[in-house]
């Protein structure tokens, strides 16, 4: 089932006024007059009113929060659906959304789902009930096409009426891996993103295809996949330790995002490895903090604030002027080189050994 704009069943579990009218065999206008207690309902026979009210109760009909006013006036309200309110990625995008909406006299309601599909559906319905004129989804896979214009930041599912706003993942993989190979790195380890993160699948696929193009071997021992919902560097720290338990035979580490990369640097340092002298570390996103850690982080920059502004502009263009629908918008990433990457040490230079407990499986 989908939120098709021409469908009478727009939201799973939600009954429309049209559906109630079909049940009782009357016009939507008659049913609306009774359910909204308008002046026109005074001419409707009492037994007809009771039949309409009984059907509405039986079908669990809920009137839209702004149903009485939306025909005549706008709400100037946007719904924002996000995974978490305070994570470095989402907060920068939402900040960009807010900047654009504020200058165009719109405000927004935000709901947080923490990757719970039931909450995504429930909160989407609540936003629509409150009269939002459009929806922006951040790192969220929308299950249906909403009945209002929508933009999905990091959206990869093709849905009618939903614009997917994405970073060019293939270009991002190429500029990151080209930088590492130009520094002499061939043994590259990877921390993959969680399966529920919107960009994870496509980013990993583009990394794999780029490695194949460049002749870089991806091994199981040099790869770990994050599997928890944690927006702190603790995630990268834990999975870098898991990686080191599998092998220490790598000269560079490419992490799914900056937060994971920052945690990984701490784990590498605790293992006696210097960054970037022994292991170069590459992040992804260029969050605000990336340039202020020691060492500062080399990363692939997503212009997150700008992406938020683009999402808001795209949405308002459709709401205000019925602009031509764009199924996808690609934003070009930029490589930001800082202190966490460096040239591979020469064979004559001795790299400190990882602790015995971490190096016993390091032959991969």
- Residue 126: strand, helix, or coil: helix
Q: How far is CA 182 from the centre of its chain?
A: 31
DSSP 127: H
Residues ≥6 apart with Cβ < 8 Å to 143: 117, 120, 121
pLDDT computed for residue 3 by the predictor: 44
For residue 267, what are the CA distances in angstroms to 241, 256, 260, 342? 6, 16, 11, 18
pLDDT surpasses 60 at 350: no
Contact call for residues 114 and 122 (beta carbons, < 8 A): no
CA dihedral 208→212→215→221, nearest 10 degrees, is 40
Angle (nearest 5°) at CA 139 between 138 and 144 = 80
Contact call for residues 352 and 274 (beta carbons, < 8 A): yes
Alpha helices in the chain (DSSP H): 17-24, 28-35, 46-58, 88-103, 117-129, 169-182, 200-214, 234-246, 258-270, 304-321, 356-359
At 22, phi and psi to the nearest 5? -65, -35
User: For 241-283, what is each residue's pLDDT tens digit?
Assistant: 999 999 999 999 999 999 999 999 999 999 999 999 999 999 9
> 169-303+336-359: what fold?
Rossmann fold (3.40.50)
Reported as a pLDDT band with limits 50, 70 and 90, residue 67 is low
pLDDT > 90 fraction of the chain, expressed in percent and rounded: 65
pLDDT computed for residue 70 by the predictor: 47
pLDDT computed for residue 360 by the predictor: 33
Edge-to-edge strands of the sheet including 134-138?
107-112, 77-82, 134-138, 150-153, 162-167, 328-331
pLDDT surpasses 70 at 112: yes
Residue carrying structure tokens 């799914």? 256
Sign of CA dihedral 231, 233, 235, 240: positive
Q: Rounded to an integer, what distance in angstroms lies between the CA atom of residue 85 and that of residue 233? A: 17
Over residues 73-102, mean pLDDT: 91
Q: Rounded to an integer, what distance in angstroms lies between the CA atom of residue 343 and that of residue 182? A: 8
Contact call for residues 87 and 231 (beta carbons, < 8 A): yes
The more confident residue out of 147 and 308 is 308
265 closest CA partner among 338, 206, 200: 338
For residue 196, what are the CA distances in angstroms to 56, 117, 228? 38, 11, 9
Give the predicted TM-score (pTM) of the model: 0.76
Reported as a pLDDT band with limits 50, 70 and 90, residue 10 is very low
Over residues 49-62, mean pLDDT: 87
| DSSP letters for 7-37 | -S--STT---HHHHHHHHTS-HHHHHHHHTT
Supply the mean pLDDT for the chain: 87
CATH number among 3.30.360.10, 3.90.10.10, 3.40.50.2300, 3.40.50.720, domain 77-167+306-331: 3.40.50.2300
Structure tokens at 126: 């609540």
User: For the chain, where do the domains classified as CATH 3.40.50.2300 start and end?
Assistant: 77-167+306-331, 169-303+336-359
Q: Rounded to an integer, what distance in angstroms lies between the CA atom of residue 255 and that of residue 284? A: 7
Reported as a pLDDT band with limits 50, 70 and 90, residue 351 is low
């Amino acid at each position: 089932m989908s939120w098709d704009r021409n469908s009478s069943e727009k939201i799973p579990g939600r009954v429309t006024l049209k559906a109630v009218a079909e049940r009782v065999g009357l016009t939507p206008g008659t049913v609306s007059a009774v359910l909204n207690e308008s002046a026109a309902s005074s001419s409707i026979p009492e037994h007809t009113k009771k039949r309409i009210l009984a059907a509405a109760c039986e079908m669990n009909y809920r009137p839209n929060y702004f149903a009485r006013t939306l025909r005549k006036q706008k709400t100037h309200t946007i719904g924002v659906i996000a995974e978490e309110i305070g994570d470095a990625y989402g907060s920068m995008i939402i900040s960009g959304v807010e900047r654009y909406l504020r200058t165009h006299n719109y405000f927004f309601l935000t709901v947080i789902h923490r990757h719970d599909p039931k909450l995504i559906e429930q909160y989407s319905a609540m936003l629509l009930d409150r009269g939002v004129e459009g929806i922006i989804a951040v790192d969220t896979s929308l299950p249906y096409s909403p009945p209002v214009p929508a933009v999905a930041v990091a959206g990869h599912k093709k849905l009618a009426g939903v614009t997917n706003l994405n970073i060019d993942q293939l270009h991002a993989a190429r500029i990151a891996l080209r930088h590492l190979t130009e520094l002499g790195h061939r043994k590259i380890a990877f921390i993959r993103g969680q399966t529920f993160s919107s960009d994870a699948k496509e980013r990993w696929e583009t990394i794999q295809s780029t490695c194949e193009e460049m002749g870089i071997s991806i091994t199981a021992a040099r790869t770990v996949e994050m599997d928890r919902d944690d927006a702190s560097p603790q995630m990268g720290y834990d999975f870098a330790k898991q990686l080191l338990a599998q092998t220490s035979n790598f000269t560079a580490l490419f992490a799914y995002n900056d937060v994971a990369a920052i945690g990984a640097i701490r784990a590498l340092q605790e293992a006696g490895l210097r960054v970037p002298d022994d292991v170069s570390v590459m992040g992804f996103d260029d969050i605000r903090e990336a340039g202020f850690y020691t060492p500062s982080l080399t990363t692939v920059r997503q212009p997150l604030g700008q992406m938020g502004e683009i999402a808001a502009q795209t949405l308002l263009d459709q709401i205000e002027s019925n602009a031509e629908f764009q199924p996808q918008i690609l934003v070009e990433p930029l490589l930001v080189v800082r202190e966490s990457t460096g040239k591979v040490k020469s064979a004559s230079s001795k790299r400190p050994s990882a602790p015995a407990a971490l190096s016993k499986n390091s032959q991969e």
